[in-house]
Amino acid sequence: MTNTTQPGRAARRSARPGRRALILASAALITVAGTSIPAAAFAADGDLSTNGGAQRNSGDKTADLRASIVDGPAKNVILLIGDGMGDSEITIARNYAYGAAGELPGIDALPLTGQYTTYSLYKDGENKGKPDYVPDSAATGSAWATGTKTYDNAISVDIDGTPQQTLIEIAKANGLKTGNVSTAEIQDATPAVQAAHVAARSCYGPDSATCGADALEAGGLGSISEQILDTRADLTLGGGSASFTQTAKAGQWSGETLFAQAEDRGYQLVGDAAGLASLTAADQSEPVLGTFTPGNFPTRFAATTATVGGADEAPVTCQPNPDRLDTGLSLASLTNKAIDLLDTGDDKGFFLQVEGASIDKQDHAANTCGQIGETIDLDEAVQAALEFARADGNTMVIVTADHAHTSQIVDSTPPATLSTALTTADGTTMKVAYGTAAAGGSQQHTGSQLRIAGYGPGAAQVVGLTDQSDNFFTIANALQLDRNTAALSSGATATVSAGTVEPGASVTVTGFGFNGDRQLDATEAADSAAATALGSKDVITGGAAYELTAPEELGTQTVTLTGRQSGKTVQVQYTVAEAGTPTSTPSPSASAPAGVGTGDGSGSGTSSGGSGASALGATGAIVAPIAALSALLLAAGALLVLQRRRRHA
C-alpha cells in the first residue's frame, strides 16, 4: 500500500518531545507491518514444517513492549470498528489475503491487545437489567459511545430510555474537533450511536414509522438523521443520502428536506469523490456532510454466497466488484481525508470514529468474499490511522469490533449448513461454514468476547479482559474530557447591541460561553406579555446570535436564551422608545456581578443556569458580566455564517 499521508500534516505536528521518543520506540513493534509492505512479504519464506518454521516471535519482546506503553493523555483518538469482526472473521481474511503465517498489516500490527465482553441487557420483564448474551450493533455501539450498557435496538439511551451523552457530544463540548465515518448508511447503528438518542435503531428519518415518541412531531429529539444535523460533528462521511431527502414534519424546518435544512444550517454537502477531494476545511462554521450512496457502500469483492454442500465444490478466488466506488471513497481514503481535515494543529485535538460496516452485513448474507474484502478495507484504514499516529506522537489508535458473528473455518464440509471453499494465499483450500440460519436467511450474531488492540498514549488500558463499556472511559480519560458538559455552559452570558432603540430598528442579541450546548432556543416578551418563540440557533464555538426587529409597541423587551442541552438560561433587555429618543449601547457594570445589558444600559439583568444533573435537560440560574468587545467579535462571526443561510426565526 502506498504512502497516503495528506499534504501539510508534517508542518502541523505538535508532539511533546519526551513522548515522541517513546512513541518512536514503540513504532518498532509495527514496522514489520508497515503500510508500504506488499502482501507477498507476509507469507512465510521458510518451511513451516521445520522446528520454529511457523514462529512469529523474533527475539525478546520485553523492551519493545515496555516502549509501547506510553502514558496519557492523548491529544487525538482514532477508534476503528469492524462491525461483526470477531476472531474468526479476522482469521478468514488473513488466511485468504496473506496466508496462515502472514499478518494483516494494520489490524495485526497494534502492539497492545486484549479481549472484551460485549453482552447487552434486557430492558424489561423479570430479567430487566440482566445480561443478554448475544447483542446487536445498537446496544454494543451505545456501550462504547456512552459507557452505559443498554438493550438491543437502543441508540445511546439506557434501559429506561434516558439519553446518555456520547463521546462525540462530550468531545465537541470540550472543544475538540469530531468526525464520524462509515461505509454504511450514517443512520446505521454504529455511526448513529455517536450522534443520536432513539429507542429504535430503525428511526432513520422523518418518514420512519418506528420513531414513535422520538419523532419531532411527538415532542422527541427527532429521527437519527435529524439528530445528526443537531449533533453537528465537524465531519460526517458515509452512505445514507436517501434519508436526507425526506421532509421534516415538525419543528423549525418543517416542510423542508433534511438536505435543504443542512444547507440552511451551514453544512458543506458533498456526494462524490471529487467533492470530497476539494474540501479544505471542516469545522463548526462549515461542517461537512458527505453522503456518497443512497444506502450502504458496495463491497470490495463480488458476492460468493455459500450454499449447502458448497465447500465440496471447486474453491473460488474473490473477484473485484464492478460496482465498487471510486478509490477516493475507499475506507482508507475517507480515513485519510478525515484526519487531514480534523488535524488542524490547534491545542485541542480531535476524536474520530471509523467503521468498516459490511463485514457484518456480508456475514449475515453468508458471503465469504464480501466479508473478506470489507475486512481488508478496514485493515487499510487502520494502516492509514497508524501511519498518522506514528508520525504525530500524540494519537491513540484503538481497533476493535462490536460483536462476534457466525462464520467459521471448518475441516470438512458440514452436511446440512451453508459453506463455501476458497483458495488462499498459501495456495490451499479454506472451507468456511455458516450454521445459524438456513439459505436465504440472516446469519446470527454470536456472543463471544472480541479482540481489542491499541497503540499510543493511554492504549495500555485495552490490555487484559475488559468490557466494551470500558472503551468509553479509556477514550474519555485519554482525552481528559470533562464529562459534566452542563457545567461547561455555567458561565454563559449574553449581550444586546443597543439598550434603547426605535420601533422597527434592528437588534442583535448574542449569547456566548454556551460551550456545553449544541443549540440555543430563544424567546422574546414585552413586559408581562406572553413570550414569543424566536426559534433555535446552532451553537458555534460556544455562541450564537439572533437578529431581531424591534416591535412597534413601546416598552421593555426581554429576550431569554436557553441552552437546549444544559438548560442554562440568560436574559437581556432592551427598550423600544419613540423616534428621536437617544439610543444607548449597553455596557457591563463592574459593580454588578450578574449584570447584562438592559434598556437603560445599566448592566443589570437576570439569568439562570443548569444544575448539571443531566446534559440533555436541566434548568437553573446565573448571569455574569461580559466584555463588550468579545460580544461584538462573536456577533460579527455569527453574522458571517448567517449570511449563508436562509432565516428561520
pTM reported for the whole predicted model: 0.86
**pLDDT surpasses 90 at 600:** no
Distances (CA, A) of 196 to 115, 125, 481: 27, 26, 19
Q: Please indicate whether residue 474 or residue 72 has the higher confidence score (pLDDT).
A: 474
Task: List the CATH code of the domain at 485-642.
Answer: 2.60.40.1930
DSSP strands (E only) in 481-566: 493-496, 500-501, 506-512, 519-526, 532-538, 544-549, 555-563
190: phi then psi, degrees, rounded to nearest 5: -65, -50
Alpha-carbon distance 605 to 317, whole Å? 74
**pLDDT surpasses 70 at 648:** no
Q: Is 17 helix (H, G, I), strand (E, B) or coil?
A: helix
Supply the angle between the helices 331-342 and 368-392 in degrees, to the nearest 10.
30
Q: Please indicate whether residue 418 or residue 61 has the higher confidence score (pLDDT).
A: 418
pLDDT for res 59: 84
**pLDDT surpasses 90 at 14:** no
Domain ranges (residues) in the chain: 76-478, 485-642
Average pLDDT, the chain: 87
Q: Please indicate whether residue 600 or residue 217 has the higher confidence score (pLDDT).
A: 217
Long-range contacts of 159-166 (CB under 8 A, 24+ apart): 159/121, 159/122, 159/123, 159/124, 159/128, 159/129, 161/199, 162/614, 163/197, 163/221, 163/616, 164/197, 165/483, 165/485, 165/615, 165/616, 166/193, 166/194, 166/195, 166/231
Distances (CA, A) of 446 to 91, 442, 522: 16, 13, 48
**pLDDT surpasses 90 at 32:** no
Q: Is 591 helix (H, G, I), strand (E, B) or coil?
A: coil
**pLDDT surpasses 70 at 198:** yes
pLDDT for res 355: 98
pLDDT tens, residue by residue, 112-164: 999 999 999 999 999 999 999 999 999 999 999 999 999 999 999 999 999 99
Report percent pLDDT > 70 for the chain. 83
pLDDT tens, residue by residue, 312-322: 999 999 999 99
Alpha carbon 582 to chain centroid distance? 51
Q: Please indicate whether residue 2 or residue 308 has the higher confidence score (pLDDT).
A: 308
Beta strand 607-608 with 131-132 is unpaired
Are 342 and 350 within 8 A, CB to CB? yes
| pLDDT category of residue 583 using cuts at 50, 70 and 90 | low
Q: Is 320 helix (H, G, I), strand (E, B) or coil?
A: strand
pLDDT for res 380: 98
pLDDT for res 60: 86
Alpha carbon 428 to chain centroid distance? 40
List, in order, residues 6 or more apart from 18 with CB less than 8 Å away: none
273: phi then psi, degrees, rounded to nearest 5: -65, -40
76-478 shares its CATH topology with 485-642: no
Peptide bond into 414 cis (omega under 30): no
| Mean pLDDT confidence for 602-611 | 39
Alpha-carbon distance 375 to 373, whole Å? 5
pLDDT for res 614: 35
Report which residue type is found at 121. Answer: L
Q: Please indicate whether residue 6 or residue 539 has the higher confidence score (pLDDT).
A: 539
pLDDT for res 64: 83
pLDDT tens, residue by residue, 233-242: 999 999 999 9
**pLDDT surpasses 50 at 465:** yes
Report percent pLDDT > 90 for the chain. 78
Alpha-carbon distance 157 to 146, whole Å? 9
Report which residue type is found at 441. Answer: G
Q: Please indicate whether residue 23 or residue 212 has the higher confidence score (pLDDT).
A: 212
- The number of residues in the chain equals 649
| pLDDT category of residue 33 using cuts at 50, 70 and 90 | very low
pLDDT for res 585: 59
| pLDDT category of residue 67 using cuts at 50, 70 and 90 | confident
pLDDT tens, residue by residue, 549-582: 999 999 999 999 999 999 999 999 999 999 877 6
Closest-CA residue to 19 (of 475, 462, 396): 396
Q: Among the listed ranges 24-28, 117-121, 306-310, 613-617, which one has the minimum average pLDDT value?
A: 613-617
Candidates 3.30.950.10, 3.40.50.10800, 3.40.720.10, 3.40.50.2300; CATH matching 76-478: 3.40.720.10
Active site residue 137: yes
pLDDT for res 121: 98
Q: Among the listed ranges 199-208, 467-476, 521-530, 613-622, which one has the minimum average pLDDT value?
A: 613-622
Of the listed 137, 182, 469, 490, which one is catalytic? Answer: 137
pLDDT tens, residue by residue, 312-351: 999 999 999 999 999 999 999 999 999 999 999 888 999 9
Q: Please indicate whether residue 482 or residue 39 has the higher confidence score (pLDDT).
A: 482
Distances (CA, A) of 572 to 123, 525, 548, 618: 45, 11, 13, 20
